[in-house]
Amino acid sequence: MPHADRYGLALSTSFDAAAFAYRDGMDLMLSAWPGASEAFDRAIAADPDFALAHIARARMHFIYAEVPEARVKSTQARTLVAQHGDARERSHVDIIALSVEGKPVECLAGTLAHLDRWPRDAIIMSLPLGAFGLFAFSGMADHEQAKVDLLERHKSYYGDDWWFLTYLGWSHAENRNVAHGRGLIERAFAARRENANAMHSLAHAMFEDGSAREAEAIIRDWLPSYDRSGILHGHISWHEALAALERDDAEAALAIYADRIAPHGNTAPPINVVTDGAALLWRAGLEGHPVPRALWSETATNAVRFFPKSGNAFIDVHVALAAAATGDAESLDRRADEIEARLAQGKLPPGPVVPAILRAIRAFANDDYATCAKLLEPVAADVVRIGGSHAQREMIEDTLILAQIKNGESAKARALLDERLHRRPSARDERWRAAAQNASVMPSSAAS
């Protein structure tokens, strides 16, 4: 009997063990649960000619920034699928191979065309989604809407599938349809609690609706069931730390950082480790909490180790935070110059917002709040182009607000805070608004 994946799509393997292991790997990958790589390895061992297992393993290597290994597996998959795969599998392999080969534009175009023909190919459907997907890193200003449009167009093919509901819900929540999105995520989570993507998406929805204490409680209850090797363990911990900062408990936030987010104890992909660490420390500093310099030094060293040159705009912003906080002006300026050069060459999809953010970060670290505000205010609406989520990008607006307060532009800061408070309750934003109202002097540095 021919084998198929959980979505009914044919698999070109005649070996039961290979098909079973591949299906297991799919579910583990789509739920961000530990064991996906090992499951795909088992599928390859059971059938060395199974192209989809090779390309899935390439995808896992690529997620963890193991690029040479990803390219080897990708090349093997291309060769094998040409010999053994059907049209759907050939297209599937080609699309993931394009991502591994660093061709995101071609990959996104191929993905959308593929889904029009095979909408239940969930691994391909996953590629444009999320905070770090093809849409988010495309430079588009409307990538949140694009995710919703894609999923709504194909939702009839998935019904109550736990993976699809997870991303449909998160996409709606990120696109300001928070109550509807949260409801969908909660349905997905109820269907499969061993689903780190659902827990992650729920944390984002709770950030958007101001349920910080509820998020903190549910993360504490659920996280012990998720092994520390899980790809999102550090990031979900980051959400718990954000909730602690929301209630002004920096001690708890930094304890979470030291235990689960800092580079020395975090096995997540480099993009997660670098961006989560820099963002949390910067936020703590904006709140006026002392951040030990040793924490920043470790984060900065790790950031340069994995990302020595400009590349992904979202990562570049976070590497710049670490450089600014540790006083490494030379490194920050060099990266900003690289980004300016890419912009001039037409090779910077998000556009001018990226160098503006980097220059503003340096100005803020140098207590030049007037320059920081002057640089950030005109590009505030374009920060979405760097990718990531609202929760991650809000840090840039936080920096602008604090720069405005410190530069005597409290009315502008209050307007931004009032807009945020209209969307959701926030004890932290209330504290900041009171500071803006009173024109009080707040701490001047993200590092100490």
Residue 23 belongs to domain with CATH number: 1.25.40.10
Residue 277 lies in a domain: yes
Number of domains composing the chain: 2
In a domain, 173, yes or no: no
- The verdict on 241 and 351 lying in the same domain is yes
Please report the pLDDT score of residue 445 as a whole number.
Answer: 45
**Residue type (1 letter), 368:** D
Instruction: Write down which residue in 127, 155, 188 finishes a domain.
Output: 127
Q: Which residue has the tokens 């001018």?
A: 352
Residues 243 and 107 in one domain: no
Q: Identify whether 203 is part of a domain.
A: no
357 and 238 in a single domain? The answer is yes
Query: Quick one: CA dihedral 311, 313, 316, 320, positive or negative?
Result: positive
Answer positive or negative: Cα dihedral of 123, 129, 237, 182: negative
* pLDDT score for 2: 77
pLDDT at 16: 97
Locate tokens 């409290």: which residue?
Answer: 410
Residue where a domain terminates, one of 127, 162, 189: 127
Same domain, yes or no, for 235 and 378?
Answer: yes
User: Does 169 reside within a domain?
Assistant: no
Q: Are residues 419 and 273 in the same domain?
A: yes
Residue 276 lies in a domain: yes
* Residue at 185 is within a domain: no
The distance in angstroms from the start CA to the end CA of the chain is 65
Question: Is the CB of residue 20 less than 8 Å from the CB of residue 47?
Answer: no
**The domain boundary residue, chosen from 89, 109, 127:** 127
Per-residue pLDDT of the chain (448 residues; tens, 9 = 90+): 579 999 999 999 999 999 999 999 999 999 999 999 999 999 999 999 999 999 999 999 999 999 999 999 999 999 999 999 999 999 999 999 999 999 999 999 999 999 999 999 999 999 999 999 999 999 999 999 999 999 999 999 999 999 999 999 999 999 999 999 999 999 999 999 999 999 999 999 999 999 999 999 999 999 999 999 999 999 999 999 999 999 999 999 999 999 999 999 899 999 999 999 999 999 999 999 999 999 999 999 999 999 999 999 999 999 999 999 999 999 999 999 999 999 999 999 999 999 999 999 999 999 999 999 999 999 999 999 999 999 999 999 999 999 999 999 999 999 999 999 999 999 999 999 999 988 654 444 444 4
Query: What pLDDT is attached to residue 447?
Result: 47
Domain that holds residue 32: 3-127
The pTM for the full model equals 0.95
Closest to 8 measured CA to CA, from 184, 112, 158: 158
> Is 365 within a domain?
yes
Structural domain contains residue 209: no
Alpha helices in 64-142 (DSSP H): 67-84, 87-100, 104-117, 122-126
